[in-house]
Structure 1
Amino acid sequence: MNVLLSLGFVLTWSSGFIGAKLGAGDASAVTTLMWRFLPLALVLGAVAATAGRRWWRGLTLRDIGRQTVVGALSQSGYLLTVYYAIQLGVSSGTTALIDGTQPLVAGALAGPLLRQYVTARQWLGLCLGVAGVVVVTTADAAAVTGVAGWAYAIPFLGMLALVAATFVESRSPTRVEPMAALTVHCATSAVVFTALAVAAGQVAPPAAPSFWLAIAWLVGLSTFGGYGLYWVVLRRRGLTQVNTLMFLMAPVTAVWGALMFGESFGVRTALGLALGLAAVGVVQRGAPRKPAHVSGGTPSRPRERASSQS
């Protein structure tokens, strides 16, 4: 089950970079993101107000406020930087590769902040993964022309936002139903992106069918698939292991981008893929047994910590 969840997470999370590329051909980043989240938030809100009332049982305003912060960081902040970078011309593969530095940052902070200490073998795997990211990033960047150098720094900001969201969520003492968290996150993103689109005068969606295909792709694969599985795998596998899987996003997206958009994929990209696979294998085998009371994301109350992810 864990292998299938991990595979599904890698594929669906990678699909977000491809969906962003699809949407960038027809509309600006804020327009695409507004129409990705506004209808979704309305549907989830309607479900939450009727059949989903049990999702909110036991939650306080403070719990909902925490989830709002998590959503603002992990969806609004992260996705805006990814979409904006791709809009500026950074390839989908390169954007994913830059985001691939997240495991090193998260791994370094997991010990002092969450007491999830990284073993020497896991550090070896993390370093292998970073090497793979560097190899493929430099290969992709060399193949792209006409992109400002500062544009490559934008995905780093999104990576930091996602890391911050992970730690905010992981330190929560309250168990939040996944659908309740998703509803709050999507509602937060809908408000943020609608406000940005209105301010920029970019509310009206294009009539092109390809735009709505991109929206359907992003909602189905990226939001319910990638984003939802991120929190599921995080809780079941722990912070270090789920973030190690992020190393695979870069080469997988590079392959996907090469097949769909003709983006560069050469020997160096293949080498980066091999390093990423090696990194995952080393970290998975070197992971210490996680105590039952430790939770990786969307944690439960202390007396419920041994419960499984729904």
Structure 2
Amino acid sequence: MRSLFFSFFIPALFVWLWSTGFIGAKYGLPYAEPFTLLLIRMLLTLGLLIALAGVLKTRWPGWRGAGHLAVTGLLVHGCYLGGVYYAITEGMASGVVSLIVGLQPLVTAGAAVLFLNESVTRRQWLGLVLGLLGVALVLAEKFGGAGVGLSAWSLLWALLALAGISIGTVYQKRHGTGADLVAGTVIQYGAAALLFAAGALLFETRQVEWSLQLQLSMAWLVLGVSIGAILLLMWLIRQGAASQVASLFYLVPPVTALEAFLLFDERLGGLAMAGGLVAITGVALSVTQRAKNG
């Protein structure tokens, strides 16, 4: 039972929490600019985590360890979130952003082979490719290749997000797995907050419309995503190979599509549902390989 809980329930919970980040962003972005919105989110999250660290009497890393964690924060939170939010703001459809960022497992697997000397089996590579195919099928039906809103700037932001989450996952696996989860997350968010503050000061008006919708979306982004999902992600990276953890991100677009259907009545056709099944099959091939080897 314990093995079942850690092998399936925890990854499933992470996928669900992570997917709601796109929903929360959709609710919040009309009322604040991207860096400004992200800065507020980081500051609120830091306040809660620092209080939690005090209660738990968290053990803080040394300067060297803190430096590695700051780099991870700039990559996993700063580049990824900033890139995704600004790609959407610059006119790229959210589905296209998801597709580009959905390449992350393949990029992470390649980086893990190059920098961590991880072995990726043929079965895992097949799983990764099937996952990408499944994501492409879901998005192909929903967006149909028309009006995708591609521009040079939006594409650069999306590629920045892809590079940040991919390289950051590998960097965290190599340099950050020994740190306390709460302390490590505080340092990562602190580094990201500095990046967002600089971006908001240099490029944005920093005006915020504090509507009820923004307040509710911010509450969920802080509690459900920035604290819940990220702590689970750091724990999963610590427990498993970077390429296998990355394969979970293939499940995010189908789950997000289901949430969009329930919340916004966005219909899914046969092609999208088939794509979801293909993506789940790909993830299963990659993740179950770990269980057999472990």
> TM > 0.5 between the two?
yes
Alignment partners' CA distance in 2, 1:81 and 1:174: 25
**Of residues 52, 55, 59 in structure 2, which corresponds to 1:55?**
59
| Counterpart position of 2:134 | 132
Which aligned pairs between 1:222-237 and structure 2 lie closer than 5 A? 222-237=225-240
| Counterpart position of 2:256 | 253
TM-score (structure 2 length as normaliser): 0.89
Stretches of structure 2 that go unaligned for 5 or more consecutive residues are none
| Counterpart position of 2:112 | 110
| Contact kept in structure 2, 1:92 and 1:253, CA below 8 Å | no
Do residues 199 (structure 1) and 199 (structure 2) align?
A: no
Q: Tell me which moved more, 187-196 or 200-209.
A: 200-209
**Of residues 259, 270, 285 in structure 2, which corresponds to 1:282?**
285
Structure 1 runs of 4+ with >6 Å offset: none
Alignment length, in residue pairs?
288
CA RMSD of aligned residues (A): 2.3
Cα 1:160–1:10 change in 2 (3 A) is same
Over the matched positions of the two proteins, sequence identity in percent amounts to: 31
Do residues 220 (structure 1) and 207 (structure 2) align?
A: no
| Contact kept in structure 2, 1:94 and 1:254, CA below 8 Å | no
Report how far residue 133 of structure 1 moved.
Answer: 2.0
Letter of the 2:282 partner, please give it. A
Cα 1:88–1:254 change in 2 (3 A) is farther
Do residues 268 (structure 1) and 294 (structure 2) align?
A: no
Do residues 28 (structure 1) and 30 (structure 2) align?
A: no
| Counterpart position of 1:80 | 82
Deviation digits for residues 80-105 of structure 1 (CA, Å, limit 9, x no counterpart):
11111232344444433322111111
Q: Tell me which moved more, 177-186 or 277-286.
A: 277-286
Alignment partners' CA distance in 2, 1:137 and 1:285: 26
Alignment partners' CA distance in 1, 2:91 and 2:203: 20
**Of residues 213, 218, 234 in structure 2, which corresponds to 1:210?**
213
**Of residues 13, 16, 20 in structure 2, which corresponds to 1:11?**
16
Letter of the 2:202 partner, please give it. A
| Partner SS for 2:210 | coil
| Contact kept in structure 2, 1:93 and 1:251, CA below 8 Å | no
Cα 1:173–1:165 change in 2 (3 A) is closer
Alignment partners' CA distance in 1, 2:82 and 2:267: 24
| Partner SS for 1:54 | coil
Stretches of structure 1 that go unaligned for 5 or more consecutive residues are 292-310
Alignment partners' CA distance in 2, 1:236 and 1:287: 11
TM-score (structure 1 length as normaliser): 0.84
The structure whose residues are more often helix, as a share, is 2
**Of residues 244, 248, 251 in structure 1, which corresponds to 2:247?**
244
Report how far residue 259 of structure 1 moved.
Answer: 3.0
| Partner SS for 1:25 | helix
Deviation digits for residues 174-201 of structure 1 (CA, Å, limit 9, x no counterpart):
7100000110111112222122222234
Alignment partners' CA distance in 2, 1:74 and 1:278: 26
Alignment partners' CA distance in 2, 1:16 and 1:117: 31
| Contact kept in structure 1, 2:17 and 2:229, CA below 8 Å | yes
Alignment partners' CA distance in 1, 2:189 and 2:284: 33
Report how far residue 41 of structure 1 moved.
Answer: 1.9
Q: Tell me which moved more, 38-47 or 231-240.
A: 38-47
| Partner SS for 1:129 | helix
Q: Tell me which moved more, 259-268 or 230-239.
A: 259-268
Cα 1:270–1:230 change in 2 (3 A) is same
| Contact kept in structure 1, 2:25 and 2:217, CA below 8 Å | yes
Letter of the 2:117 partner, please give it. R
Deviation digits for residues 100-136 of structure 1 (CA, Å, limit 9, x no counterpart):
1111111122223212211111111111111112222
